[in-house]
Chain A
């Protein structure tokens, strides 16, 4: 397995994105009531670059008192914000979208520094999509009555939003844009390893001139999130993250009248039939599992291949994996960047050991990994079965488990044979097969002949332990409104 990557005549020389234009403060306070506010605890924690393990900045740790302050600011802002003419709310959102676009390079670089994802992805996917979510919801702000004809939509009040570390700015956009468009005020908590772009977004919100207290951004670890969930004056919790924390949130809000949407884990089936365009399916499998180092809740982590084409698909998949460039996320040619944190790398490595211990054949391409930082080679486990633990549990890393199947009935049964139900993929040249399968797949999103495509107009969310509620599209608005 420890093969050295041999030098090629056309190896791509390093092409690093410049970082000189980026402005990061030495220390970030909490963003409450449109002002940078020192945390009550006076405590700050370090945020590092997972590709180098080097210090980037310090971020304030919010405790219960800070949470209370933020919620009070949001509550105070709610009456006037919710009564603002809807097209005025829209104007603010358009303004945020445009400022994100103007600063897109800076956002992309910071996202990559703080989170470890390749600059190609933050530049081409995360940041443009974040702007798109604000644009899309800006358009809805004054048209809500048309989205829900005859139902008189009203905002919920104060929303507490807790977002994960895999798509920091994009998840902030997913959460903030619909909440604000619907007239709610917000307290947002980014993940502790990736707070920086959310704090940059706070600067954008200041620049856009939003009224005081409409958006409050507080940083901290799980305890901060728990304090937000437990705060009595919150009307709605929106959470994206692990199933474990999602369950804890459910327990915490039981018996209150807090509304919730939870977008949790996944273990998606990506199904390739023998009549599929195999070469393109390979590309889709790669995008499905190795996008963002596999730190994707809807990652296509369970590959089902019809037995008759398994051999062909596997050699092609391995060849494609050999071309993936793992390394410095700031390099424009990097396909797979750094694992987000030491803790996550430990989790992934645990599953790599487990897979081998379970007797599965493992494949990793030969590639040199940087000396410092957190890295995992793209990994394939072959000859897996539904009974393998690495097939059952979410790994949240660049690890693909491959199973073969014989018939369409069998694969539908096995694809649904999981506690999760966030997404699925199907690859076939036959349209009727797609419709048959998509109607039987118990997953919130089903992609056909493509994978990991996102758009603000399209609702996203899960079944079963993948959570409930939808984000994006008209369905996503519903989650931030109440009706008479």
Chain B
């Protein structure tokens, strides 16, 4: 029995968890040292979507975060900036203004984030609000309830409709991998999102306990690779949540490098959704440059 009633999505691709974990243990055993580490750390900085998605977000909180984005660590002002600020639609205008012509994008979550439990009309309005306020990128959530009910058509069509509404803004599709089941389902959801028009696929909202992991990201990167091989079209990847150390971030780069190749090793095609990663990366960069670790108090928190 075919799981897909439409021909746009490739047939179900099985994933073997044991094999994925084997692959990841090889990735984690790569030893990233010296210049490779330094290049990697700077690359990580440029790939961060600095994020605040709280009920308690205020205009000033968002402005402060935007200041951090443009002044990551003043003693090393030559360091690159992060890729984007990620906020709720209501905060997009504030962020846009605060970031000015820094080159840093504003990404907005939309589509009844984080649960996605609303109608398509409301979701489209949510997207419109974000775009009207100037969002450069839209991070949507898929309807997990529909996905788990097996209504893949619905999920596909919804993504396609949001993609159309996005216009020039790049669309990241959040699968919320912690809610949709095992690696087989994650592969299936990745294929649906990609074939429905996602520019990026993203693991998580960061709003539930389970967030991005290397095995999950590996499976999603394989979906991207298969699609690229078939169509020549590149799709971006954004693991989000749970990535707070430099060491782990570098392992993600190794995984991308060895799965998709270095074409994907830039912030056009790979992002980290993270709030505390930046300071850890900065701490490591300072360590590489000076030979000493500095306490957390030497790195600004916004």
A8 interface neighbour in B13, B20, B257, Cβ under 8 Å: B257
**Closest A-B pairs by Cβ, 9 of them:** A280-B19, A15-B31, A277-B16, A280-B16, A332-B31, A429-B14, A13-B36, A277-B14, A323-B258
B39 interface neighbour in A9, A124, A276, A323, Cβ under 8 Å: A9
B90-104 contacts to A, CB under 8 A, are none
B295 within 8 Å of A (CB atoms): no
With A15-B31, A332-B31, A429-B14 as given contacts, are A277 and B19 in contact (CB-CB < 8 Å)?
yes
What 0/1 readout, one digit per residue, does chain A (187-200) give for beta carbons within 8 Å of chain B? 00000000000000
Count of interface residues, chain B, beta-carbon cutoff 8 Å: 30
For this complex, 17 residue pairs linking A to B, each with C-beta atoms less than 8 Å apart, are A8-B262, A9-B39, A10-B36, A10-B39, A10-B40, A10-B43, A10-B262, A12-B30, A12-B32, A13-B34, A277-B15, A280-B22, A280-B23, A284-B22, A332-B29, A332-B30, A332-B31
A333 interface neighbour in B13, B31, B37, B253, Cβ under 8 Å: B31
B222 interface neighbour in A8, A279, A450, Cβ under 8 Å: A279
What's the Cα separation between A8 and B22 when bound, in Å?
25
Count of interface residues, chain A, beta-carbon cutoff 8 Å: 27
Least CB distance from A32 to B in Å reads 40
A331-364 contacts to B, CB under 8 A, are 332-333
Give A contacts to B, CB under 8 Å: 8-15, 120, 124, 275-281, 283-284, 287, 315, 323, 332-333, 429, 449-450
Which chain A residue lies CB-closest to B33?
A: A15
CB pair A449 B18 closer than 8 Å: yes
Give B contacts to A, CB under 8 Å: 13-16, 18-20, 22-23, 26, 29-37, 39-40, 43, 222, 229, 253-254, 257-258, 262, 265
Least CB distance from B268 to A in Å reads 14
Least CB distance from A433 to B in Å reads 13
Using Cβ atoms and an 8 Å threshold, which residues of chain A touch B253? 10
Using Cβ atoms and an 8 Å threshold, which residues of chain A touch B34? 13
B22 interface neighbour in A13, A14, A276, A283, Cβ under 8 Å: A283
14 further interface pairs, Cβ-Cβ under 8 Å (given A10-B254, A284-B22, A450-B22): A8-B257, A8-B262, A9-B265, A10-B40, A12-B36, A279-B19, A280-B16, A280-B22, A315-B229, A323-B258, A332-B29, A429-B14, A449-B18, A450-B19
Which chain B residue lies CB-closest to A278?
A: B13
Most chain B CB inside 10 Å of its own CB: which residue of A10, A315, A450: A10
What's the Cα separation between A276 and B15 when bound, in Å?
8
What's the Cα separation between A323 and B254 when bound, in Å?
11
Using Cβ atoms and an 8 Å threshold, which residues of chain A touch B22? 280, 283-284, 287, 450
Say whether chain A's binding surface is mostly helix, strand, loop, or mixed: loop
What's the Cα separation between A287 and B15 when bound, in Å?
17
With A275-B14, A277-B14, A323-B258 as given contacts, are A11 and B19 in contact (CB-CB < 8 Å)?
no
CB pair B19 A120 closer than 8 Å: no
Using Cβ atoms and an 8 Å threshold, which residues of chain A touch B254? 10
Least CB distance from B143 to A in Å reads 27
What's the Cα separation between A17 and B13 when bound, in Å?
40
CB pair A11 B23 closer than 8 Å: no
Least CB distance from A334 to B in Å reads 10
With A279-B222, A280-B18 as given contacts, are A13 and B258 in contact (CB-CB < 8 Å)?
no
Which chain A residue lies CB-closest to B36?
A: A13
What's the Cα separation between A12 and B15 when bound, in Å?
28
Least CB distance from B287 to A in Å reads 17
Which chain B residue lies CB-closest to A276?
A: B14
Most chain B CB inside 10 Å of its own CB: which residue of A12, A283, A287, A332: A12
Which chain A residue lies CB-closest to B260?
A: A319
Using Cβ atoms and an 8 Å threshold, which residues of chain B touch A12? 30-33, 36
Using Cβ atoms and an 8 Å threshold, which residues of chain B touch A315? 229
What's the Cα separation between A15 and B35 when bound, in Å?
11
With A124-B29, A283-B23, A333-B30 as given contacts, are A11 and B36 in contact (CB-CB < 8 Å)?
yes
With A10-B265, A13-B34, A429-B14 as given contacts, are A284 and B29 in contact (CB-CB < 8 Å)?
no
Using Cβ atoms and an 8 Å threshold, which residues of chain A touch B257? 8, 10
Least CB distance from A308 to B in Å reads 12
Using Cβ atoms and an 8 Å threshold, which residues of chain B touch A281? 16, 19
Most chain A CB inside 10 Å of its own CB: which residue of B13, B31, B257, B258: B31
What's the Cα separation between A14 and B37 when bound, in Å?
11
What's the Cα separation between A10 and B35 when bound, in Å?
9
Using Cβ atoms and an 8 Å threshold, which residues of chain A touch B229? 315
Least CB distance from B269 to A in Å reads 13
Least CB distance from A20 to B in Å reads 17
Using Cβ atoms and an 8 Å threshold, which residues of chain B touch A279? 15, 19, 222
Least CB distance from B224 to A in Å reads 12
What's the Cα separation between A278 and B12 when bound, in Å?
12
Using Cβ atoms and an 8 Å threshold, which residues of chain A touch B14? 275-277, 429
CB pair A450 B18 closer than 8 Å: yes
Which chain B residue lies CB-closest to A280?
A: B19
Using Cβ atoms and an 8 Å threshold, which residues of chain A touch B40? 10
Using Cβ atoms and an 8 Å threshold, which residues of chain B touch A280? 15-16, 18-20, 22-23
Most chain B CB inside 10 Å of its own CB: which residue of A15, A280, A429: A280
Least CB distance from B134 to A in Å reads 32
Using Cβ atoms and an 8 Å threshold, which residues of chain A touch B30? 12, 332-333
Using Cβ atoms and an 8 Å threshold, which residues of chain A touch B31? 12, 15, 332-333
Using Cβ atoms and an 8 Å threshold, which residues of chain B touch A9? 39, 262, 265
CB pair A13 B33 closer than 8 Å: yes
